[in-house]
């Protein structure tokens, strides 16, 4: 089924797993990402940046996700990642995205609340879920985390206030992760996640999933992470395979022969991550 973020994370909470939210950069890899979820018997969140949505087309992405959800019998959520502009969010919602993120993390606290609440009002009236963000998640340089002056950990008391005033369906938290960290791994602040999870009741979201140590994932799930974003690892995998394949084949070789192995690389990564995300060795906590 084609469902929203609130629905997909509700079930994850009941059964104590997390839902993989995988960034697609093109239309080629998308069917294999959904088929990976099907093979693992898991739901999947497909997410796109605003730029990718404009490149492929909002409506095209919606129709492809809906069709594959129906024909492959997989629960699929289509989510707009890190949107900062209301017009982009409106375009996604009006074209049928089932979930959006408003990223007001760089704004002053009060402004983040006010703008997020406006998005929530528009989205909820149309059955669409909203993810907000508090704190500032780190950046990377050449795949390594950089000691950014700008990093701001999420404060538990702010999270309580933010959720109360905005009505968001999920909250992205800054607990030490960095976007795009594919050459090193980060030290997540599990202590901080626990503090946040003790005082809030909405699903929490990990950004920068590529840089998270796989051995840390079960404890993140056990402490409220219900949406787990992975982007760079897929991008790097697809590109590496593409470089190899395109580098070694004749110019008139069918594109299909080069692109299928790239999609297969992505499929294998998604399957591997989902296996961990399903948290099968941990007890269910209702």
Residues near ligand 13P (CB under 6 A) are 23, 81-82, 179-181, 207-211, 229-233
* CB closer to ligand 13P out of 26 and 165: 26
In the numeric block, the tokens 């989510």 are attached to 79
Clarify whether 81 is annotated catalytic.
Answer: yes
Q: Whole-angstrom Cα distance, residue 135 to residue 247?
A: 42
Question: Closest by alpha carbon to 230, among 219, 243, 245, 217?
Answer: 217
| Nearest position to ligand 13P, beta carbon | 231
Q: Whole-angstrom Cα distance, residue 272 to residue 181?
A: 18
**In the bound complex, what is the minimum distance in angstroms from residue 234's beta carbon to ligand 13P?**
8
* CB closer to ligand 13P out of 143 and 165: 143
Beta bridge partners of 227: 19, 205
Q: Which of 81, 88, 103, 169 is catalytic?
A: 81
* CB closer to ligand 13P out of 148 and 250: 148
What Å distances lie between residue 114 and 104, 122, 167, CA to CA? 10, 13, 11
Q: Whole-angstrom Cα distance, residue 219 to residue 217?
A: 6
**In the bound complex, what is the minimum distance in angstroms from residue 177's beta carbon to ligand 13P?**
7
Q: Whole-angstrom Cα distance, residue 106 to residue 134?
A: 9
Length of the chain: 286
* CB closer to ligand 13P out of 142 and 252: 142
**In the bound complex, what is the minimum distance in angstroms from residue 121's beta carbon to ligand 13P?**
23
**In the bound complex, what is the minimum distance in angstroms from residue 94's beta carbon to ligand 13P?**
22
Q: Among all residues, which ones are annotated catalytic?
A: 81
């Amino acid at each position: 089924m084609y469902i929203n973020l609130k629905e997909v994370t509700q079930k994850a909470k009941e059964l104590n797993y997390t839902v993989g939210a995988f960034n697609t950069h093109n239309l080629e890899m998308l069917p294999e990402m959904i088929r990976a979820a099907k093979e693992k018997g898991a739901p999947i969140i497909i997410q796109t940046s605003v730029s990718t949505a404009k490149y492929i087309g909002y409506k095209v992405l919606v129709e492809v996700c809906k069709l594959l959800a129906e024909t492959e019998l997989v629960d699929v959520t289509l989510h707009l990642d890190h949107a900062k502009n209301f017009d982009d969010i409106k375009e996604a919602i009006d074209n049928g995205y089932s979930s959006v993120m408003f990223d007001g993390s760089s704004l002053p606290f009060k402004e983040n609340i006010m703008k997020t609440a406006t998005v929530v009002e528009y989205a909820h009236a149309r059955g669409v879920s909203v993810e907000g963000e508090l704190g500032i998640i780190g950046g990377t340089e050449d795949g390594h985390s950089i000691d950014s002056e700008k990093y701001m950990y999420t404060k538990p008391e702010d999270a309580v206030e933010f959720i109360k005033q905005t009505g968001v369906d999920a909250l992205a938290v800054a607990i030490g992760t960095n976007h795009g960290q594919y050459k090193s791994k980060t030290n997540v602040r599990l202590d901080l996640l626990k503090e946040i999870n003790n005082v809030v009741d909405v699903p929490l979201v990990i950004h920068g999933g590529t840089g998270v140590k796989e051995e840390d994932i079960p404890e993140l799930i056990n402490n409220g992470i219900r949406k787990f974003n992975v982007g760079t690892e897929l991008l790097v995998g697809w590109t590496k395979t593409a470089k190899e394949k395109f580098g070694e084949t004749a110019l008139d070789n069918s594109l299909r022969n080069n692109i299928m192995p790239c999609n297969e690389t992505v499929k294998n990564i998604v399957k591997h991550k989902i296996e961990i995300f399903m948290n099968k060795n941990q007890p269910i906590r209702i």
